[in-house]
Amino acid sequence: MSTTDIPADPIAKAASVVNQMRAEIGKAMVGQNDVVEQVLAVLLAGGHALVEGVPGLGKTLLVKALAKTFDGQFSRIQFTPDLMPSDVTGHALYDQQSGQFRIRKGPVFTHLLLADEINRAPAKTQAALLEVMQEAQVTIEGQAMPLSPPFMTLATQNPIELEGTYPLPEAQLDRFLLKILIKYPQEQEEQALVKQVTTGQVGDTLDVSAVATLVKPQTVQALQKIVSGVLVDDKVHEYAVRIARKTREWPGVAMGAGPRGGIAIIRASRAMALLAGRGFVTPSEVKKVAPACLRHRIALAPELEIEGQKPDDILSAILEKVDAPRT
């Protein structure tokens, strides 16, 4: 399958390809359907995702399976307090034989990058990765080297173990299109997962052999182009902006979402519309993606945090308050 397989009826064909990719990922990853859908939406929107969840819920498996569906390259960086920016981006080495410096590319030169426990690295290293995410290129010794598209970073952080971590500043969190919460699987899903991982396998290696390669990286670029053309009515644009602006005036919110919040809602909504097989965005897509688009873009006042309130609680109340367009 290639980019020539997509047009004719672009939306229907693109939706078919993406849903086939979702089905292939399901062969390796049991459950977590909402997480898979959101990660696919981020890829289609050309963004990056921040995933929050305890270890062992299949984040690495998800990214490896996704990479295999489009024959993409995959890299993983385990972030640690002693990780340097050059360990992420690469550096120049002196070659004694030639008497010249040569560039050694870092793990960011890939299609899908899993930045595991990004909040364990110091701010300078975090900033190096986030700059790469924003610019889609790396500069080493004054030489700018673009990354091969499509490029997506899936950064993870553990919500429980906070000792020895460097929380991402709000300005850097704003670079992520979605913040995805990955939770424990349902009991039946966990039973199926345990059975799948322990049947006929030695150790606990991540097996994606059942996942078929459906398309090439160029096809993902074509899918992203189609998503960017999904229609958004002016009333839907206004609805997304009203939701983002409401976070700035809501009682108990110390810092609301900036303009990137509304932009993220529209970009993610377009991808969700394509996943649903439609060439236009409805208010239901906006409601669906708004929590993941905004939960990392707002900061609650200390008194609300003491009461146990979460950003999602505030966003649910805002979505109930802001009227959705009816046509």
At position 4, the amino acid (one-letter code) is T
Provide DSSP, 122-176: -HHHHHHHHHHHHHSEEEETTEEEEPPSS-EEEEEE-SS--TT--PPPHHHHTT-
Q: What is the mean pLDDT of residues 169-195?
A: 84
pLDDT of residue 113: 93
CATH topology of domain 3-228: Rossmann fold (3.40.50)
Q: Start-end ranges of CATH 3.40.50.300 in the chain?
A: 3-228
The token duo for 4 is: 């020539």
Rounded Cα distance, 246 and 250, in Å: 6
Q: Start-end ranges of CATH 1.10.8.80 in the chain?
A: 229-327
pLDDT of residue 262: 95
Place of tokens 């939701």: 243
Model confidence, pTM:
0.88
Percentage of residues in the chain with pLDDT exceeding 70?
93
Q: Which tens digit of pLDDT belongs to each residue from 9-66? A: 788 899 999 999 999 998 888 778 899 999 999 999 999 999 988 777 778 888 889 9
Closest CA to 211 of 65, 17, 59, 2: 65
Rounded Cα distance, 57 and 213, in Å: 23
Rounded Cα distance, 270 and 224, in Å: 10
* CATH classification for the domain delimited by 229-327, as one of 3.40.50.720, 1.20.1180.10, 3.30.420.110, 1.10.8.80: 1.10.8.80
